[in-house]
Amino acid sequence: MPAFSDPFRDARSGPGVLRCPFHGEDIVMLLRHEDVRRAAKDWQTFSSDAPFRVPIPSEEDVRTMRQLPIETDPPEHGDYREIVEPFFQRAKDPAVIARVESLVGGLLEAAITRDSLEIVHDFALPLQSRALTYLLNVPESEAETWIGWGIHVFKVSGGEFKQGNVLEDYLHAQFDRAAADSGEDFFSALTRATVHGRPLTREEMMGFANLAFAGGRDTIIHTISCALGHLAAHPEALEHLRANPKRITLASEEFFRVFMPLTHIGRVCPAATEIHGERIEAGHRISLCWASANLDEAAFPEPLEVRLDRKPNPHLAFGFGTHLCLGAPHARLILRTLLKLCCERVGRLEVLGATERVEHEAKFDRTLGYESLTLRVVPS
C-alpha cells in the first residue's frame, strides 16, 4: 500500500503554517486542526465567495461558471444548498441503500471470478459512477458515459488539465432535455427550482451540476481504492471487521481520516489579515489543509497509526462548518457497504501490483493513493 507519512508535521509543530507556491501563486497553508476548523467557520475573514478560486490550483481554465453552493458565503450559501440537499440526502433512502448494496455485491462477485482486477479504473470508477446515478435519479446507463471520462473530469494522469469542455457540453445537453421533458431527476429539478423568488439561470444550474460531477468523483474513487489496498496489505484488518461488523462505522471514519483525498481547499481574504506571523494581503488566498489537520497530534493520538476503532475521530475529510460536504452521506454509504460485503463475501485480498500516486509541490510531496492497484479477490 502507499507509504503513509506526514509531510506537514514539522511546519505544523513549528509555525503552524506553510507558505507554498502553487502555479505561480504563493498561498499560506493553515495546518493545525484547531486553526483549520476555526477558519472554516470564519467566512467573513476567509471567504468562499470566489469563483474558480476555491480549488487549488484555480479552475478558470477548465470551467466557465461558479460552482454552487461551494463558491458562495452565507446567507446565499444556505439558499443555494437548500435547493439540492434533497438529492444528496437520497443516500439515506432505503431503496437507494438497497441499490448500492446490489451494485457493490455484483462488482465483488465479478471480481471473485477473475484472476486479477485493477481496482482504480475497473472497480472504483464504475462503482462511483453507477452509484451517482442513484443519487441523481437518472438511468444507470448514463454511468457508461461518465466512466469514459476517466478518474477526474478535469484532469488526466499526471495532474495536467484536460482540454475542451466535455463535461459542460454533456450538462447543457441534459438541461436541454430536462427543459423539454421534465422528470424527477436532478437536472429536471434544477430547471424547476427557484432562488430568491426567481428561476435559476442556466449558469446557476450548470454550477450545481458541475460540482456534483467534479466534487465527489476522484475523492470517492481514491477512498475506495485505498481502503481495499489497506485490507489487502493488512489481512488482520479485514478479520477485525469480520469478527464484529458493528466496527465498520468507526473503521470507515478512520479510512476517511487517513486516506484524505483532498489536500486542501482555498479561501480568499477580503481584507488583509495575519495568522501565525504570516500576512495575507486583501484578495489573496489561504489554504485550509485538511490533510495536515487530519494528522494533527493535538486531535489524534498517534495519528500515523490506522486505528479502526478510533473514537472520538473529529476528522475533517468532509470539511467543517457551513460548507460541510453535501456528498458525505453518499460517500459513507458506499464505503460502509463495501466493507460490509467484503466481510461477508471476501476471504482475503492479495496485492499483485501497485503504482503510487504522489502530489509533488515545491514544499512537500504527498502520497495520494494509487494510480493503479491490482488485487486478487479471494472468496470466503
Instruction: List, as one string, the DSSP characters of 212-227.
Output: HHHTTSHHHHHHHHHH
- For cell 458541475, name the residue: 210
- The closest of 257, 236, 134 to 184, measured between CA atoms, is 134
Residue 311 is assigned to a structural domain of this protein: yes
**How many CB atoms neighbour CB 263 within 10 A?**
19
219, 212, 195, 5: which is closest to 83 by C-alpha? Answer: 195
d(CA 195, CA 260): 33
Q: Is residue 1 part of a domain?
A: no
Set of cell numbers at residue 176:
436541454
Q: Is residue 302 part of a domain?
A: yes
CATH code at position 195: 1.10.630.10
In this structure, is residue 103 part of a structural domain?
Answer: yes
Q: Which is it for strands 273-275 and 265-268: parallel, antiparallel or unpaired? A: unpaired
| Domain-embedded: residue 4 | no
Peptide bond into 379 cis (omega under 30): no
What is the number of structural domains in the chain?
1
Report if residue 3 sits inside a domain: no
Show the domain range for 225: 9-157+164-379
Q: Is the pTM of this model over 0.85?
A: yes
Residue 2 lies in a domain: no
**Structural domain contains residue 147:** yes
Q: For every one of its 380 residues, what pLDDT tens digit does the chain have, with 9 covering 90 and above? A: 455 789 999 999 999 999 999 999 999 999 999 999 999 999 999 999 999 999 999 999 889 999 999 999 999 999 999 999 999 999 999 999 999 999 999 999 999 999 999 999 999 999 999 999 999 999 999 999 999 998 888 765 555 666 667 899 999 999 999 999 999 999 999 999 999 999 999 999 999 999 999 988 999 999 999 999 999 999 999 999 999 999 999 999 999 999 998 999 999 999 999 999 999 999 999 999 999 999 999 999 999 999 999 999 999 999 999 999 999 999 999 999 999 999 999 999 999 999 999 999 999 999 988 999 999 999 99
